[in-house]
Structures are given as structure tokens and as C-alpha cells.
Structure 1
Amino acid sequence: MTDCLELLHEAPARALDVPPLLFIHGAYVGAWCWQEHFLPWFAAQGFDAWALSLRGHGGSRTSRPRDTLSIDDYVDDVLRAQERLPAEPILIGHSMGGFVAQKALERHPFPAIVLLCSVPPTGLAGSLLHMLLSSPLALLEMNLFMTGKRKPHRSLVEALFHHQPPEPDLARYLAASGPESLRAIWDMMGFSRIDRTRQHPAPVHVFGAEHDKIIPPDQVETTARFYGTTARILPEFGHTLMLEPGWERAAQAIAQVLQPAAQAA
């Protein structure tokens, strides 16, 4: 089997003079999580909106065993994807995808990156300690789900969402999700930290969610301090904000920080 990357695309009817957006999903999911709401919404605002499924996720195939896939492999996917876009994109990464975006900035210049509830530059250790102390059952269910042993139960759903989507939508989201690479998780535990000295210069916009039980606001603040910027903590959201009721408020906040790019282009 040959590796083949899935790229979903929503073209604007009237495009802004701004770089395209490349959305990078987090663990367990694929580009479909952006197609549900964000891609059509951003296209309607004039952005050329794209979403990548990292290899082994969504519609992206791989010839490798899943658990051998590394963060560097996922960065390779981002670099391959950006070559297919009409111009250098702004990267928008959620959770694990935010960590991948930060690593991609070490290897290629991008106009900007947007981090949504992102794994911090220092890795997952702080997040896992927080979950162990505050949501141990959700952490157990996450680990079981990561290895494909069973679907998540209520504790993990509550950790993913502050306001739960309607049951039919939630069932679709869980059915479309799948296990994550153990190698990639270990990389984020500290084996593949972000090297700020290697990153190309670019604006970094950092967003978190008030009720995020996976990447809590203090971890988001850590990321913002690393980049010398201010974290924007979005109220009344949980971790999976792009699929949560009220997602438009999160999309609007992101679009707002991208407006200066549109004005400067």
C-alpha cells in the first residue's frame, strides 16, 4: 500500500487576500472533525480552507504499522500537504495537531500558526498529571481507546466536551474516531520537544478552553509564555471545541486574529 494523504477543501466564493488555512487535527480523529463546521464556516468568511488527515487517520492510508508512526512522520505529512496548496498556509493545529504544527515550524517557514488547546512545547507530562489527579477514569478510558480495546465511556466524553453534542452527532464522531499511534504519544511525552531556536520566525496565536480537562488553561498559559504571547482562553468550551455546541464563537475568535494577516496581504 502506498501512503496517500487525504486533504479536504472548502473554497471561498469571494476569497480574501490572505494565505490559505491548513487545519491539523488531534489524536484519534481525522480531517472530518474540521469538515463538520469549521471548513465551510471559514470558507464563507473568505478563507481558502483546507484540512489534512495525518497518515493512518481519516482517509489517509499508510503502509506502516500504526504504532510506529512518529510526530516527525506527521510533520512530513504537513510538509507534503502544504506543497499541494496554492500558497504557503497558516497552520491551525488542535491538541496533538498543535504540537505537530510547532514541530513543522522547525522545518519550514509558515506565515503564522494558530494553536488550539495544543499540547505544550514541553510535552504531555503536565496534562497527564492533571488528568490523573482530576479525571483518572477519563484517563483510563482514553488509554483503552488509544489501543483500540474499546470505545470510550461517559467519563472520556465528559473530558472531551463541556457541552455535549446531540447524541446522534456524538455517535457519528465516536464511530469516525480510532486509535492513536503509541510512538506519537511517547514522542509528546518528552522524546520530541519543541526547539525554539530551530523554529522559523512566525506569529504564534495561542487559544485554550476554559473547561478543558485534557489541556487545561494553565498548560495553555505555559505555551503562550514559551512564545512570548498572551493566551486567549475561550469561555464555556471544553477540549473538542470545533465540534461542541457554540463552536461559532471559537471560529469567530480565530478569524479575528487572522484579520491583520488579511489586511497586510
Structure 2
Amino acid sequence: MGETLEVIDKGSTTNAHPLPLLFVHGAWHAAWCWDAHFLEFFVDRGYRAAALSLRGHGRSATAKPLRACSFEDYLDDIDAVATTMPGDPILIGHSMGGFLVQRYLQHRTAPAAVLMASMPPSGSLASGLRWMKRHPWHFAKMSATRRSLPYVSTPALARERFFSATTPDSVVTACVARLQEESARCGTDGMRNLPKPELITADILVLGAAADGAVPPDEVVATARAYGTVAELFPRMGHNMMLEPGWATVGERIDEWLVERGL
């Protein structure tokens, strides 16, 4: 595919956990959001845990301008990393990454998947309308400039979208310092070529955050319903579930769920 992708890969598979975990980040983020806590957490429990940065994110290269990168490009990135791993990895996707995982599962196999504060199968239209209603001037400027980073990358805006009201300022500012521009195509890609849950056979755990400013609980519930399961919501937690102060409770639930399935 001609792209050099950043992959943070830690630990090794064990008899207890013979399949690797592959973590997929959301918009404006990169592999670092998983490396802050989650990768070591799962390595300590006997997993091989890897996180990729999609092209144009983190240290991953992109052969074309980021604004032109599509969800199909991002799916190629996930596939490129997954095919280098021993066996089909268990996929864990957050936000936009959760939407990509759903798309991935339509055509590729995986033993299981976890969706964390994921965009729902219905796509990003409702999210865009909420953003337009809450910040109409921001939305107008994004539409004109095709740039979205300025409207998520102040401490106040990042807290509104990614964190709960009680998250320490230090956590918010550390995240803000690492956010990057997102592809301008993502807004439209999130409204077309939607996942088809009826084609997906993998066992899926659906997790959400009760104080999420980006993906509200009702969308998490709708995602779970689409996959014939029940959403699990973490109270007083914001969108960035892997960085919030309660991140370990999320990790523990994922580990418990995987152990129950012999994974």
C-alpha cells in the first residue's frame, strides 16, 4: 500500500491469551492514546497488545494529503497490520475507530471485537447535527476551511467532547497537546457505506460512557441493539474511556469479557 505505519506492539501471546489485541484509535488521535495505559495493562495480564496509528496520524506516513484520506484507506491500514499478526487479532476500536472496526468485520474475520464509545452503525450524521447546533460558527468555519482540529484542540473544547467535567486538567491538556488534524473526508465517509450489522458474525462487546460529549448513551444503546447485545455504560466517564481516571475499570471489564470467552 506504500504507507509506513506506526505500530506500538508490546508483550507476547500466552497459553491463556493465544490471540493478539489490535487497538484502533478515533479521530484526531493516534496510537499514543492506547499506549498511555491500556497496552501495559493488557500486557501485564498476559496479552500481546498492539496499537496502530492510521495513515497521517501519529508517526504514520501518508502518500497523499491527509484531507484526501478515506475510510477505505484506514481500513487498508487496519488490514495491513492485522495480516502481520499471528492469527486473527481481537479488535478494539474507539469512536471513529469503532466504526472502522464494524466496517472491517463485514469482510474480514475476527474472533471478537470491542466497541468503546463507538460511532453507531447509523453513522456520523446525528453527531454532525449536534455539533452544528452546539457550535454553529465552528461548523461553518470547518465547512469552509476543511479543517477541524482548531475546534477540538483547546482545553475547554477538548473537555466538552472527550472528557468528563471532573477529569483533571492535566489529563485534558496532555491530550490536547497531542491531537492532530483529521481527514476532511471523514465527515462524509461516516454518512455513507455504513456498516451492515446483519453481515457481522463476530462476538461484540459494546461499551459507552455516561458523560460522553461525542457519542451519547442512546447511540451506544442503539449500537448494542444492532448487534443483539446489551450496552454497558460507565458512570461519570467521558468519551476518552482509555484516558479518563476510571480507565482501569474499562480495561478490567474487557479482560473479564475476553477471559469468559477463552480468549
Same fold? TM cut 0.5: yes
1:1-265 equivalent positions in 2, closer than 5 A = 2-11=2-11, 16-133=16-133, 135-136=134-135, 140=139, 143=142, 146-149=147-150, 151-163=153-165, 165-188=167-190, 190-199=191-200, 201-262=201-262
1:115–1:206 Cα contact (<8 Å) kept: yes
Unpaired segments of 5 or more residues in structure 1?
A: none
In 1, Cα distance between equivalents of 2:54 and 2:106: 18
In 2, Cα distance between equivalents of 1:55 and 1:153: 25
In 2, Cα distance between equivalents of 1:16 and 1:139: 49
The alpha carbon displacement at 1:149 in A equals 4.5
The alpha carbon displacement at 1:206 in A equals 0.6
Structure 2 letter corresponding to 1:192: N
Bigger mean CA deviation after superposition, 225-234 or 136-145: 136-145
Aligned positions, number: 260
Q: Name the one with the larger helix percent.
A: 1
Structure 2 letter corresponding to 1:7: V
The alpha carbon displacement at 1:168 in A equals 4.1
In 2, Cα distance between equivalents of 1:163 and 1:19: 37
TM-score by length of 1: 0.89
TM-score by length of 2: 0.89
Structural RMSD (CA): 2.6
Give the direction of change, closer, same or farther, for the CA distance of 1:83–1:138 in structure 2 (3 Å limit): farther
In 1, Cα distance between equivalents of 2:13 and 2:209: 31
SS of equivalent to 2:261: helix
Moved over 6 A (4+): none
The alpha carbon displacement at 1:45 in A equals 1.1
The alpha carbon displacement at 1:83 in A equals 1.2
Q: C-alpha deviations, 1:121-150, integer Å up to 9, x for none? A: 1101222334445x4379759958953447
Identity %: 37
Give the direction of change, closer, same or farther, for the CA distance of 1:209–1:142 in structure 2 (3 Å limit): farther
The alpha carbon displacement at 1:105 in A equals 0.6
